[in-house]
Chains A and B, each alone.
Chain A
Amino acid sequence: MTLRFVVNGKDVAVEVEPSEVLLDSLRRLGYRGVKSGCRTGSCGTCTVLLDGRPVPSCTVLAAQADGREVTTIEGLGDTDNPHPLQSGFLRQGAAQCAYCMQGMILSAKALLDTHPHPTDEEIREGISGNLCRCTGYVKAIEAVAELGGTRLHLDSSNRHPHRNPGPYATVGDPVEKTEGIGLVSGRAKYTDDFAFEGLLQGRIKRSPHAHARIVSIDASKARALEGVHAVLTCEDVPRVPHSTAGQNCPEPSPYDSVMLDRKVRFVGDRVAAVAADTPILAKRACDLIEVEYEMIEPVLDFERAMDEGAPVIHDEDDATGILDASRNMAAHVDAEVGDVEEGFAKAEHVFEHTYRVQYVHANPSEPHIAATFLDEKNRLVVVTSTQVPFHVRRIVSRVNEIPLHDVRVVKPRIGGGFGVKQEVIVEDICAALTLATRRPVKLSLDRSEELVSSRTRHPQILKLRTGVAADGTILAREMRVLTNTGAYGSHGLTVPSNTGSKSLPLYRSPAIAFSNDTVYTNLPVGGACRGYGAPQGYFAMESHSDEIAHALGMDPAEFRLMNAIREGDEDPIAEKLGEGKEGFRRVIQTNGLPECWERVSEAADWEGWRSKLEPGQFGTPGSFRHSRVGKGITFAMHGSGIPGDDMGAATIKANEDGSFNLLVGATDLGTGSDTILAQIASEVLGVTPEKVVVYSSDTDRTPFDVGAYASSTTYVSGGAVVKAAEMVRDRLLVHAAALLAEGPQGLTCADGKVTAPSGKSVSLADVANAAMYGEDKEQISFTASNVTYDCPPPFAAACCTVEVDTETGRVDVTDFVCAVDLGFPINPALAEGQIEGGVLMGLGYALSEEMLFDGKGRMLNDNLRDYRVFSSVDAPPIRAILVRTDEPTGPFGAKSVSEIPVDVVAPAVANAIYAATGVRLRDLPFTPEKVLAGIEALAAAGGEGVGAGGRR
């Protein structure tokens, strides 16, 4: 049928299918700024304006738009003439991956059209239908507020203009992202935005059973369907045991996965794959594949996985690296420094508590997607939304048994990753479909597949035991962990080892012990997820810290400060634990923790609030009759890259106009690392950042980088950029010396020119031009690599304020202050964005997010309605504070910032709920129902706190 409507003021006629939704028609028409997120109207990513009102274009049938007016992000403004909202979002640093931003900006536009001067609440409400996973909504709200002249209730720090803390010219500036206005105008290209001639749609047939053997597969009906070009089963693809984890080679994860197996190990596991002309045909072909299963009893309770007689999940004989497959044990970690038993014997008090953390999902706005094709030389090109292009190349090549030099991996813009894209879960099989059909194939996960079949944050049970002296000095501590890695062991050794290595060093103790068992279950697969084991460890350890402080009658801050690691301290437990193997000696050279706490304490009025409490009192009165307010705190440290493992490289080449190309393997997944790396290069080269053109990342064209994980890009890859830039600069100085007839000793490179001690100068453009066209012609270009063994930790302190409704158990976070010592802030606006977004992700972990399963291992809430990511109206004001130290090993003194904000959140919320009510919750997430049960239990036990009823 023909659809006639007006798009961005232009009359358009287009043939549409009668059941097609507007989202697909608009994208086919080339309005690629309309992004697909969930296809159920739950995330707002596909928002367009229909007759001026925001609508989810995934639930509007195209036929219904006939005769109506549609505005997409492209209609708001373009790169030449951006709409004030687009430039405002960019200026405020509101756009991280920006996949959800196109829709959010349109919602904001509709709001400002009807409410030119919205209130704080109206702004939050106006964008509440646009779920964002990267940010804390803070900067988007500020961008709208700026345009609407709105007074916000609680200013976050960045409303005050950033000043470069100095002494540098470019690093330290809150420069706008190098991707520029394209990022907020629909021009930025994500994987789904590439067009390919003759493109086929891939789809994976998934297991309906948690544990079963495939007796037979009959794909004949699917293959016979017209428009189906390939059906792959385990018979048709190479069987290469590997790990899907994108880690250093050889991966410290078991090789327990094959592309397609004869056994399924969780509901949502791969059974077969199809390439067809359309998504609908691909789905139909999947449905037509007949599979006979022999059911096996599933292992769903991870505490029973190692039991005698438990069904064995990995009984294949070609897997390697599994600790003990017969007992479903994927991995084990053990480390001890000092003698903990001796420490416990000496201790005045010994405290022991057990904590539990649930299955959650990183849930990036853009689900996993890859497109593969054969280029004119028959090489396989993989365009993919990945954090680890070089690991993808290696694994795709190995699993498909094709030479590595025949694989090229290209990373376009990424719609968020958070670790879940540090994994090869679509590329290998998409490539196999291209190899089978010799045609381009696109394979994307829908939202349900993303939640069920990609990767999750590992659930754990953590037992903590701490011995302290009478004055509160810690004498011994042990952490015993049981980790559920689900059906495959991806990151199953290193995530739990980081649970210990990231958290335990925070407090000095003469004896520290850590152990972990990682077990398989027939549930979704664990993987990397922002924080990489540390949020689990910190929830346990920092809840435990509070419990100890309260038991000792100490101020929780005082207990922490007296035991916290100091500058100059060694960190033997992190060294012992390493990354799946013994690590490297670490000495803390910079530690801004005391300042972090000082500033948090002041911003959150910690002392003032505590002074209102009578001894033993829980909570202060809230804003309504039966509410109680409490504040909870957390400290944390993290790491910067994986010592000895992570390697990043950068190439810089000089152009004749004094500009530079910066080629990096590092992958910006929305964090802004392209911008950070450009700032670093421009600082060394003495030019403005726009003179540095960043290209990232392409295995044919950029040097190697392990990829974006482990809080490594600024620190590790940034170090490579410094080195390469220095080499380029030094070479330019040689040419400048010839032009100036001085030096090269004593020449400096700044402000776009080279200056001699005499004061004589020459522009960088003239130098570069001379290098390329003058007497001694050369292409100035250098590549440098960077590996570090230091892993300097950033530090953080946080204070969370909650208001608990004691009748319903609802917890409202009313304020969250988080200070991070990130070394030197290369870009303060982007750094704050990392903190705000990390905190919001942590709040979901603490309060609302949980993957739920039925008794057969099927996920019950595999959609964004019931998998509860925080919206803008749920998000509290998040106040990010940057604390500067100058880390001698980091580029311009920088450490990391991206993961540590997640670490501090859940325990801060737990401690705040305790402070408000006297209820200690040790089991995430704190749903209203769980909080209320805690209040009831406390009342039943006659304990102190709100339940006692006497302290209101």
Chain B
Amino acid sequence: MYEPAWKFPTTALEAAEILREAAGRATPIAGGTDLTARLRSGDERPEVLVDLAGIEEFGGVDLTPDPDAVGQMTMGALNTHGALARDDLVRQHVPLLAEACATVGSPQIRSRGTVGGNVANASPAADAAVALLALDAAVRVVSADDCEGDRAGLPLEGFFTGPGETVLRDDELIADISFDCPAESARSLYLKAGQRKALAIAIVSVAALYEPEAGLVRIALGSVAPTAVRARDAENLFESEWPAGDCEAVIDAVAARAVGSASCIDDVRASGRYRRILIETLTRSALRRLCLDLEEDG
């Protein structure tokens, strides 16, 4: 009989201390949409379950104004996908994140699953994480030794080390995730090719952001490699070529280049070959819409 002990901390410090004491025998739980499946299958059987729901400081979405820029947005790890998809600040400043959150699972899953869990789970198909990657987000991590979170600002790029694997230590918790808000003129979107429209796990997803004044794009890809990845080469190509005489040709070339950042595999959802086609197609479609305002792309 599996009988985990439950802890219900109300502060980050308390939670972090529980994790330190347990020395690897405890697992934090928030929405539990993925963890319950692993508990049930027996893939994971921690001795202690640390429910984070009572930690208020892990909630909320804030925008810290900056006189020279839009500011920095910080979202507590406990924000659910549903909450972020509905959040006015998120929808206004980072539509790609709102859109990504809105495609997670189903309304039921979205009202449980949290953004912190999405990042911590490190699924290559994690929707919110792909959008956050395109936003150059950073993860603030707290532990008992470092409750203020001096390991703040761990860049999300590099945070993921493999499917389900991150740099997070057993005694660490994700407190919040933050990023510099894109300029007011920036445009962004999230495109996802799934096997159906609801309850879908991405075959390929593309989060893209275009900053017209800076003349650059940021592109992150999901379900195309062991972790969510940035298409850096493609971004660089864009920066060096844009705007050129033939904008559509630049976009075509950038989309083709994005494929190089992927290492696609065949699985039950699609072949690697089809994934590579989708990367190019979705990236092209995203950039045509963002940079050329061509809404007629599907």
Chain A interface (Cβ < 8 Å from any Cβ of B)? 1, 17-19, 21, 39-42, 44, 47, 50, 53-56, 58-61, 63-64, 66, 107, 110-111, 125-126, 128-131, 280, 622-627, 805, 807-808, 810, 848, 852, 860-861, 864-866, 868, 870-874, 927-929, 932
**Complex contacts, B278 vs chain A, CB 8 Å:** 808
Cα A19 to Cα B106 in complex, Å, equals 24
Residue of B nearest to A278 (CB): B1
Nearest B residue to A624 via CB reads B298
A18→B5 contact, CB < 8 A? yes
Whether the pair A873, B198 counts as a contact (CB closer than 8 A) is yes
When the two chains form the complex, which single residue of A53, A860, A873 contacts B197, counting CB atoms closer than 8 Å?
A: A873
How far does the alpha carbon of A363 sit from the alpha carbon of B196 in the complex, in Å? 17
The 9 residue pairs across chains A and B that have the minimum distance between CB atoms: A129-B106, A128-B198, A624-B298, A53-B111, A871-B198, A873-B197, A59-B36, A929-B274, A129-B108
Whether A128 lies near B106 (C-beta < 8 A) is: yes
Pairwise interchain contact B37-A59, C-beta atoms closer than 8 A = yes
In the bound complex, CA of A161 to CA of B177 (Å): 53
Determine if A874 and B270 form an interchain contact, defined as CB atoms under 8 angstroms apart. Answer: no
Interface pair B5/A865, CB less than 8 Å apart: no
Task: Look across to chain B and name the residue whose beta carbon is closest to the beta carbon of A53.
Answer: B111
Known pairs A47-B108, A61-B32, A932-B274 / 13 extra A-B pairs, C-beta < 8 Å: A42-B199, A54-B108, A56-B109, A63-B49, A64-B51, A64-B53, A111-B107, A129-B105, A129-B198, A625-B297, A625-B298, A808-B282, A871-B199
Given contacts A64-B29, A848-B195, A873-B198, contact A44 B294 (CB under 8 A): no
Residues from chain B with Cβ under 8 Å of A128 in the complex: 106-107, 197-199
CA distance A624 to B281 in the complex (A): 14
Q: Which residue of chain B lies nearest to A810 when distances are taken between CB atoms in the complex?
A: B193
Q: Which residues of A sit under 8 angstroms from B109, Cβ to Cβ?
A: 41, 56, 59, 129
Known contacts being A865-B199, A874-B198, is A929 close to B270, with CB within 8 Å? yes
- How long is the Cα–Cα vector from A361 to B175 in the complex, in angstroms? 44
| Residues of chain A lying within 8 A (CB to CB) of residue B32 | 59-61, 64
Q: Is B277 an interface residue (CB 8 A)?
A: yes
A1 touches B6 (CB 8 A): yes
B269 CB–A CB distance under 8 Å: yes
Q: Which of A19, A66, A861, A870 has a CB less than 8 Å from the CB of B4? A: A19
In the complex, A872→B282 CA distance in Å? 24
CB distance from A311 to the nearest CB of B (A): 27
Q: B214 on the interface (CB 8 Å rule)? A: no
The answer to the question of B33 belonging to the interface, with a C-beta cut-off of 8 Å to chain A, is yes
CB within 8 Å of A: which of B1-52?
1-6, 8, 29, 32-33, 36-37, 39-40, 49, 51
| Separation of A808 and B285 alpha carbons in the complex (Å) | 11
Check if B296 is an interface residue, CB within 8 A of chain A: yes
Closest to A19 in B: B2
Is B29's CB under 8 angstroms from A61's CB? yes
Chain B residues close to A by CB (< 8 Å): 1-6, 8, 29, 32-33, 36-37, 39-40, 49, 51, 53, 82, 105-109, 111-112, 193, 195-199, 201, 268-271, 274, 277-278, 281-282, 285, 294, 296-298
Asked if residues B107 and A129 are in contact (CB atoms below 8 Å), the reply is yes
Bound state CA distance, A18 and B51, in angstroms?
A: 12
- Residues of A near B2 (CB, < 8 A) are 19, 280
Question: Which listed residue, B39, B51, B268, touches A866 by the CB 8 Å rule?
Answer: B268
Interface centre among B5, B33, B39, B197 (most CB of A within 10 A): B197
Identify 15 residue pairs between A and B in the complex whose beta-carbon atoms are under 8 Å apart, listed by A's number. Answer: A41-B33, A41-B37, A44-B108, A54-B111, A56-B109, A111-B107, A128-B197, A623-B298, A805-B298, A807-B298, A848-B196, A852-B268, A861-B268, A873-B197, A927-B195
Report which of B1, B36, B53, B271 forms a contact with A929, defined as CB distance below 8 A: B271
The binding surface of chain A is classed by DSSP as loop
| Contact status of A126 and B107, CB under 8 A, knowing A59-B37, A861-B268, A868-B196 | yes
| Bound Cα distance from A347 to B81, whole angstroms | 63
B108 to chain A, nearest CB (A): 4
A126: B residues at CB distance < 8 A: 107
- Chain B, residue nearest A114 (CB): B86
Asked if residues A63 and B51 are in contact (CB atoms below 8 Å), the reply is yes
- Known contacts being A64-B53, A805-B298, is A55 close to B197, with CB within 8 Å? no
A59 to B285, CA, bound (A): 36
Complexed CA–CA distance, A807 and B2 (Å) = 49
Instruction: Return A23 CB to nearest CB of chain B, in Å.
Output: 10
Contact for B281 among A41, A47, A808, A871, CB less than 8 A = A808
Nearest B residue to A42, CB-CB = B199
**Residues of the B chain whose Cβ atoms lie less than 8 Å from the Cβ of A864:** 199
* CB nearest to A287 among chain B residues: B42
How far does the Cβ of A627 sit from chain B's closest Cβ, in whole Å?
Answer: 6
Nearest residue (CB) in A for B2 is: A19
Contact B193 A866 (CB under 8 A): no
Which of B5, B196, B269, B281 is packed against the most chain A CB atoms within 10 Å?
B196
Q: CB-CB < 8 A to B105: which residues of A?
A: 41, 129
Q: How far is the CA of A927 from the CA of B297 in the complex (A)?
A: 21
Q: A53-B82, A860-B268 are in contact. Are A874 and B196 (CB under 8 A)?
A: yes
Contact residues in A for B36 (Cβ distance below 8 Å) = 21, 41, 58-61
Q: Using Cβ atoms and an 8 Å threshold, which residues of chain B touch A807?
A: 281, 285, 298
Contact present for A627 and B298 (CB under 8 Å): yes
Contact B112 A60 (CB under 8 A): yes
Taking CB atoms, residues of chain B closer than 8 Å to A868 are 195-196
Residues of B within 8 A of A44 (CB): 106, 108
Say how far A900's CB is from chain B's closest CB, in angstroms: 25
Q: When chains A and B are docked, how far (Å) is the Cα of A63 from the Cα of B7?
A: 10
Q: Nearest CB to that of B284 among chain A residues?
A: A807
Q: Which residues of A contact B269 (CB under 8 A)?
A: 866
Known contacts A129-B198, A625-B297, A873-B198; A107/B107 CB under 8 A: yes
Bound complex: CA A865 to CA B196 (Å): 10
- A943: shortest Cβ distance to chain B, in Å? 20
A19 to B6, CA, bound (A): 9
| Complex Cα gap A664–B278 (Å) | 55
- What is the bound-complex CA distance between A58 and B278, given in angstroms? 34
Please indicate which of the listed interface residues A1, A50, A60 has the most CB atoms of chain B within 10 Å of its own CB. A60
Which residues of chain A are within 8 angstroms of B108 by Cβ–Cβ distance?
41, 44, 47, 54-56, 107, 129
Q: How far is the CB of B141 from chain A (nearest CB, A)?
A: 23
Compute how far the CA of A204 lies from the CA of B49 in the bound complex, rounded to whole angstroms: 31
* Interchain CA distance A41-B6 in the complex, whole Å: 22
- A47–B105 Cα gap in the complex (Å)? 14
Residues of B contacting A64 in the complex (Cβ-Cβ under 8 angstroms): 29, 32, 51, 53
CB-based contact B107/A625 at 8 Å: no
Chain B minimum-CB-distance residue to A808: B281
Give the interface centre of A17, A19, A870, A927 by most chain B CB atoms within 10 Å: A19
Give the distance in Å from the alpha carbon of A625 to the alpha carbon of B281 in the complex: 13
What are the residues of chain A within 8 A of B197 when measuring CB–CB?
128, 871, 873-874
Closest to A128 in B: B198
Which A residue's beta carbon lies closest to that of B278? Answer: A808
Chain B residue at minimal CB-CB distance from A227: B1
* Chain A residues near B281 (CB-CB < 8 A): 807-808
Q: How far is the CB of A230 from chain B (nearest CB, A)?
A: 20
Measured between beta carbons, the chain B residues less than 8 angstroms from A60 are 32, 36, 112
Q: How far is it, in angstroms, between the C-alpha of A129 and the C-alpha of B111 when the chains are bound?
A: 11
Chain A residues near B107 (CB-CB < 8 A): 54, 107, 110-111, 125-126, 128-129
Nearest CB on A from B172, distance (A): 21
B81 to chain A, nearest CB (A): 12
Query: In the complex, are the beta carbons of A18 and B198 less than 8 A apart?
Result: no
Q: When chains A and B are docked, how far (Å) is the Cα of A623 from the Cα of B230?
A: 31
Contact of A59 among B112, B268, B277, B297 (CB under 8 A): B112
B111 contacts A63, C-beta separation under 8 Å: no
What CA separation (Å) do A927 and B49 show in the bound complex? 41
B118: min CB distance to chain A, Å: 14
Which residues of the other chain, B, contact A129 by a CB distance below 8 angstroms?
105-109, 198-199
In angstroms, Cα B31 to Cα A60, docked, is: 7
For B111, what are the chain A residues with a Cβ–Cβ distance below 8 Å?
Answer: 50, 53-55
Q: With the chains together, A852 CA to B267 CA distance in Å?
A: 11
B197: shortest Cβ distance to chain A, in Å? Answer: 4
